[in-house]
Chains A and B, each alone.
Chain A
Amino acid sequence: MKQFLDMVLESAERQPVRLLRILRAVQDRYRHIPEQAIDIIAEQLKISRTEIIAVVEFYSFFHRQPQGRYDILISDSITDWMLDKANIMSYLSKVLKVDVGTVRGDGLVSLNNTSCTGMCDQGPAGLINGYALTRLDRPKIDDMAVLIEQAVPLSEWPAEFFQVSDNIQRPGLLLQQAIAPGSGLTRALARGLKETLTEIEKSGLRGRGGAGFSTAMKWRFCAEAQSDRRYVVCNADEGEPGTFKDRVLLNSYADQVFEGMTLCAALIGAEQGYLYLRGEYRHLEDKLQKILQQRRDDGLLGQNILGQELNFDIEICMGAGAYICGEESALIESLEGKCGIPRNRPPYPVTQGYLHKPTVVNNVETFMAAAAIAVNGGDWFKGAGTERSAGSKILSISGDCAKPGIYEYPFGVAIKQILSDCGAVDVQGVQVGGPSGSFISDQELERQLAFEDLATGGSFIVFNNSRHVLDVVKNFTHFFAHESCGFCTPCRVGTSLLKKQLDKIVDGHGSAGDVAALEELCQLVKNYSHCGLGQTAANPVLTTLQRYPELYQRQLKKISYEPGFDLDGALEVARRMANRDDAGAHLTQVEE
């Protein structure tokens, strides 16, 4: 182990900021992070062992107990549930003879759930040893079981298991034509860097992650912050259930994304950039490394880019399963090799980001758009969209529609139009912007996609009338409780209480006061949470309570109060021990 760790630590240059990379290598090799490894890493990186334990226990893909040699995780996104995930899971469990959440006795296989893996257009999906599995069905599972029992290495499995399609259904402004590698930088240098920033300002480009801050303004703030060093970070941690557009952009337009990052570096004066790639997109890692190398070979990265006095390089950092790392300051903490806990603001990342130096953090789509604007000019971009939402928006569409996949529209497009294009019929509602966005009903389909009306990071999940809204809300609420980083009280305790309270109602144990209590709790979590996760965690409940109050009411018992505690259920053990089951051995706690 010492020898292996030496090699891993050496390749990470013994830098504590690369702790996640080191732990990923250890996890891959030993299927967990052994105690001994923790001691060695702590000693070599000169950090405390508790710091390492904290990181291991924070990220879903690290474990302190060995996982199976084939570690299977099945995506728990609502879209997977809609594609019969429950059946797939129980079939897997049966065929592989392993209970969900456990490692099989012989250590060959482990099976568990994981948050959305970003394959909503080709689910039910999962991961095996970190690699994406798509379109799971029974025949595929039967084949998998054979390969696993024969211990065939993943590298020898048929390629079709790992096939990930782009599914670009409707290209628009950006997707229609990728820019040629280097053309954005060449144009920017010819035009002048200052003028190019003005051009981006003129384009009206706003961050595509959902919050919509002006990109030019962010870059300008960062450039103006006093510092000897600046950083560019691309946020490729799209973890919002129902989002997968960044996966496609990085698979097919990575050059343009890297070009946008390089452009930003030139404008703000940064020499180092990071692509923070979510762990679920491991299948893209090698390909992206090759593209980076190609760009270095072509003089588009590294020293003296395009023969100018421009030095910039990009490193890929992989996440390890934590939705919260999509929040920019949590992402920065994670880049620094720590738990992804959002920082206090101010200061903001543009003045104190990575290693407390000014840092621009932008979404994949934002960098891609910026590169296109450098080539085509601000007016070209501004020409599409609405007054306050310039340009186009790339959507990930999934759920009940004939053609799930990637769609690009000018901002201002009506929801109705999108639904008709993707072949959605009998629509009950749409989740716009993922669980943290809003659930809109079939009465609101005239509404528009734009910062003025419905803002979105890109998730667009369609639900037809066969779906139960409360099942959806339940899935989302459980998701947030699972992904809360736990830093602040209202989110750590609040999201778990929300889950309990909603379950009480959905499972038929709620009474009149429970909906009021649910709503009160929602407001508390929303108003007092530290970051966006907590501030939006109650949105699924709030947006559906507003539109479908009757659905909640219908679940309630017709009594004034129903305890959350099942008194009669608690007597079960006593009944078994006393070997009786007569009427006298039962208790009713509330007269109905």
Chain B
Amino acid sequence: MSKTIRIDGKEIPFEEGQTIMEAASAADVYIPHLCHHPDYTPHGSCKLCSVQVNGRNCTACTFPALEGQDIISQSQELQEDRQRITQMLFVEGNHFCPGCEKTGNCQLQAVGYYLNMLDNHFPHFYARREMDASHPDILIDHNRCIFCNLCVRASREKDGKNVFAISGRGINKRLVVNSSSGQLKDSDIDVNDSAVHICPTGAILIKRQGFRVPIGQRIYDHHQIDEVALEQESESHGR
């Protein structure tokens, strides 16, 4: 008899050692997330995957699935709060979706669509953030960084390079590059690195790719993020 957890009333099997996110994904249940990716160590920082486990808020990507858990994920309250958390990410940086090369392919934007986010709700920070266009193939637009740490983890865990780190404290956090000048061109990053392809927003972009797929024909122009995420991630979570 396999062990089960219950998500929104649905019995879901899990294996010892799986997180709630892993069990849910494997069972085709989508829990919104941005900083989580099945290939990398869970981070638990974006908080979009917050669910109620036996009445307590936990991040599904870090919290272990345990027998007898009664989990609420799709309640109206949680969806509204996830929308607010997403709005926080939008006002913290400078996100101009219509002018962004990533539009339609951006997970942050797609989560916004999914949660029916119609405005930014909070006052903007208008943070002054730089752009690093020094590298011949890769561009960093710090305006769009949401500190999900995925590039940091991908570079460290998959590329074996350690190109990125998140520095600073509180609202002054920033993405830093491991090179003597601090610029991307002097780092040992390569356009084929996993770290370059993992960014859920338009913060790390590959040059000369813009509009190769026209706006209107991009991933989230036609599919909801839950659909896309489950298709891409449920297999790796299946164990």
Residue positions of A touching B, CB distance < 8 A:
39, 48-51, 53-54, 57-59, 322, 339, 344, 346, 481-490, 492-497, 500, 520, 524, 527-530, 564-565
Contacts and interface: CB of A to CB of B under 8 A. Distances in A.
Contacts of B168: 54, 57-58, 486
Contacts of A487: 45
A534 to B, nearest CB: 10
A419 to B, nearest CB: 35
Given A484-B171, A530-B45, A496 B165 contact: no
Contact of A344 (B59, B170, B176): B59
A17 B59 CA distance: 29
B176 A50 contact: yes
Question: Lowest 5 A-B CB distances belong to which pairs?
Answer: A50-B165, A493-B88, A54-B167, A344-B62, A484-B170
Contacts of A50: 162, 164-165, 167, 176-178
Interface residues of B, number: 40
A483 B171 CA distance: 10
Contacts of A564: 123
Given A493-B88, A528-B50, A564-B123, A486 B169 contact: yes
A433 B223 CA distance: 50
A56 to B, nearest CB: 8
B200 to A, nearest CB: 13
Contact of B81 (A48, A339, A485, A524): A524
Given A50-B164, A527-B81, A489 B45 contact: yes
Nearest to A496: B171
B44 interface: yes
B42 to A, nearest CB: 7
Select the residue from A49, A524, A528, A529 with max chain B CB neighbours within 10 A.
A528
Contacts, number: 110
B169 A493 contact: no
B180 A39 contact: yes
A488 B88 contact: no
Interface string B214-237: 000000000000000000000000
A562 B95 CA distance: 25
B13 interface: no
Interface string B123-154: 10100000000000000000000110000000
A346 B170 contact: no
Nearest to A493: B88
B170 A489 contact: no
A496 B126 CA distance: 13
B172 A486 contact: yes
Given A39-B180, A50-B164, A492-B147, A486 B170 contact: yes
Contacts of B174: 57
A527 B169 contact: no
B42 A344 contact: yes
A485 B169 CA distance: 5
Contact of A49 (B91, B123, B125, B178): B178
Contacts of B172: 57, 486
